[in-house]
Each structure stands twice: as C-alpha cells, then as structure tokens.
C-alpha cells in the first residue's frame, strides 16, 4: 500500500484538496455571520478569555515597567521609603488608569447622549493577528448586545464597524483597512465621496468631482447614507488634495480623526442609524 501512487502523493493531494476548499470559501464570499463562518465565532470566543487575561497581564507589566523607569536614578538611602514610594507610585498609576478609563467612559456617555441612539461601551483587548488587515478585538460580544454591522465610535470620531461576533468578543474592521469604505462628505463644501482605507495606512476620499473646492484642513463627516454610521460624525480632516493628473475625480487624502493605536474604550451603536435622504447631503 505504501508504494502506491496515492500513498506516495497523499500530502500533495490532501494539500490540493484543502486549497480547493479554501478557494471555495473565498470565492463564495463567505462573510462573518454566515453559516460557514460559525467556527470562526467559536474560535473568537475560545481565545477571548486568553486575550482579556493577556491584556490585563501586559497592562500590569506595562505599569510596573513605567514605575520602575520612574524610580531609576533615585538614591537608595532609605529602603523602606523607596518601597513605600514604589507602592504609592503603583497605586497612583492604578488610580491614574482608573481616572483615565473613567474619563473615557464619561466622554463616551456624553457622546451616546449627543447621538440620541442606544449604544454600549466596550473595551479593546486586541488587534489584527497578521497586521496586514486593520481590525480590533473587543472584550464584549453577543451577550452585551453587539451584532455584526454595528457602528463603532470613539469620542474623537468614527472607528469602524463590527464584522464578527462571538458571545464574549467581537471583531471591528477599522475604517483605515483597505477593505473598508464609508459614505462621507466635506463639511465645508458639502462635496460627497467614499472614504476608503489604503493598504499602507491612511484614508483617501474617492469619487470627489474635480469642481469641488475642497482644501486642506476641511473636516470630513459621515453622510449617514451607508446605513451603518449616523450622519455628521467626524471621520477626519483633509490633509492633501491632488488636482493634477488625468481622471474625473480629485485625489483627496484624509487624516483620520481617531488614533486607532491608542483606543482603549469604544462606543458601539446598537440602534440602527436614522434614515437619511440623499438630497439632504452635499453634491458630489
């Protein structure tokens, strides 16, 4: 049996079959939330406690290291005081963290009230596994009312939308991912376009007509037409406008309003955003 063609080539044949299965999953366009992606939800849930625990552990190590750095250079003339200072520093760090978290949550609460929509706060516990895509992992999931397609915001502006949910965690596609896009308009000129992520970071505003008088520093806000994000939320500011070159549209670069690497708490809008009439928006 071991000398047969099938046995000798079993690895290549199994591998090829698995490649076909993977290609089938890719070409059928299975998206998070579909039946075929249910194991993904289980995996997301399986790793959620590990991620939360690791996040807490790393945060403690981070605090400890920061305290240590603060203490380097202090003379060791009084060991007891030194330990006491370290303890108090540690306590101060924890209080500072609590105060920061409290401030973030208060800000998010204010944002929720300003939006007038139902929303829940969620903690960020991880980021994308490969780094090539830009996603975040939240420490709350289905049990907290989170669902795929919901908008995720921070006090600074739009963060992204939920693409996969397990009972205890959720994955957010950031607006600067190269597969993300949202309908937005320049608040000053009312020129509409599609804000999309770039593979090498940053945002571009596509399909803006050449007649639009967009300029650097203009705020870009959501139009509400995509049915995901409520209208009027800050996406970013125009950082560059290319008027040269061929084509029907301007090349507009947008600087995101949110620093995605510093996000700790976010707000997930659980209510569907109110419908917006396209005629209320600016012209493209």
Residues that bind other proteins (CB under 8 A): 10-15, 18-19, 21-26, 30-32, 36-37, 39-41, 43-44, 46-47, 50-51, 54-55, 58-59, 62, 124-133, 135-137, 163-164, 171, 173, 177-179, 199-200, 261
Distances (CA, A) of 69 to 1, 90, 249, 262: 65, 12, 51, 21
* Residue 78 beta carbon to other proteins: minimum distance, rounded to whole angstroms: 33
* Residue 201 beta carbon to other proteins: minimum distance, rounded to whole angstroms: 9
* Residue 132 beta carbon to other proteins: minimum distance, rounded to whole angstroms: 5
* CB nearer other proteins, residue 158 or residue 221: 158
The dihedrals phi and psi of 132, each to the nearest 5 degrees, come to -75, -35
* CB nearer other proteins, residue 135 or residue 140: 135
* CB nearer other proteins, residue 59 or residue 99: 59
* Residue 82 beta carbon to other proteins: minimum distance, rounded to whole angstroms: 28
* CB nearer other proteins, residue 55 or residue 109: 55
Distance CA 96, CA 89 (A): 10
Q: What is the DSSP letter of 49?
A: H
Distance CA 110, CA 132 (A): 34
Query: Per the structure block, which two tokens stand in for 53?
Result: 């625990």
Sign of CA dihedral 107, 111, 112, 113: positive
* CB nearer other proteins, residue 44 or residue 122: 44
* Exposure letters 6-43 (e unless 16+ CB within 10 A, then b): eeeeeeeeeeeeeeeeeeeeeeeeeebbeeeeeebbee
Query: Per the structure block, which two tokens stand in for 107?
Result: 């800000």
* CB nearer other proteins, residue 136 or residue 191: 136
* Residue 71 beta carbon to other proteins: minimum distance, rounded to whole angstroms: 21
* Residue 112 beta carbon to other proteins: minimum distance, rounded to whole angstroms: 24
Distance CA 137, CA 49 (A): 12
């Amino acid at each position: 049996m071991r000398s047969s063609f099938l046995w000798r080539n079993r690895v290549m044949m199994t591998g090829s079959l698995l490649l076909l299965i993977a290609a089938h999953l890719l070409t059928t366009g299975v998206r998070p939330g579909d039946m075929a992606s249910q194991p993904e939800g289980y995996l997301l849930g399986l790793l959620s406690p590990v991620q939360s625990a690791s996040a807490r552990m790393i945060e403690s190590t981070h605090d400890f290291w920061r305290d240590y750095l603060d203490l380097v250079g202090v003379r060791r003339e009084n060991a007891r005081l030194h330990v006491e200072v370290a303890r108090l520093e540690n306590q101060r760090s924890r209080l500072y963290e609590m105060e920061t978290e409290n401030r973030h949550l208060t800000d998010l609460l204010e944002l929720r009230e300003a939006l007038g929509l139902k929303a829940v706060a969620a903690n960020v516990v991880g980021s994308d596994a490969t780094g090539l895509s830009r996603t975040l992992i939240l420490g709350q999931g289905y049990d907290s009312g989170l669902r795929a397609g919901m908008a995720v915001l921070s006090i600074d502006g739009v963060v992204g939308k939920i693409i996969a949910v397990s009972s205890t965690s959720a994955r957010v596609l950031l607006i600067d991912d190269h597969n993300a896009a949202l309908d937005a308009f320049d608040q000053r000129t009312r020129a509409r376009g599609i804000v999309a992520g770039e593979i090498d970071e940053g945002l571009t505003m596509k399909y803006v007509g050449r007649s639009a008088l967009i300029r650097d520093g203009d705020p870009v806000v959501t139009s509400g037409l995509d049915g995901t994000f409520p209208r009027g939320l800050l996406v970013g500011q125009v950082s560059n406008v290319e008027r040269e070159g061929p084509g029907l549209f301007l090349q507009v670069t947008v600087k995101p309003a949110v620093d995605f690497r510093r996000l700790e708490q976010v707000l997930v809008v659980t209510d569907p955003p109110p419908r917006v009439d396209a005629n209320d928006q600016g012209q493209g």
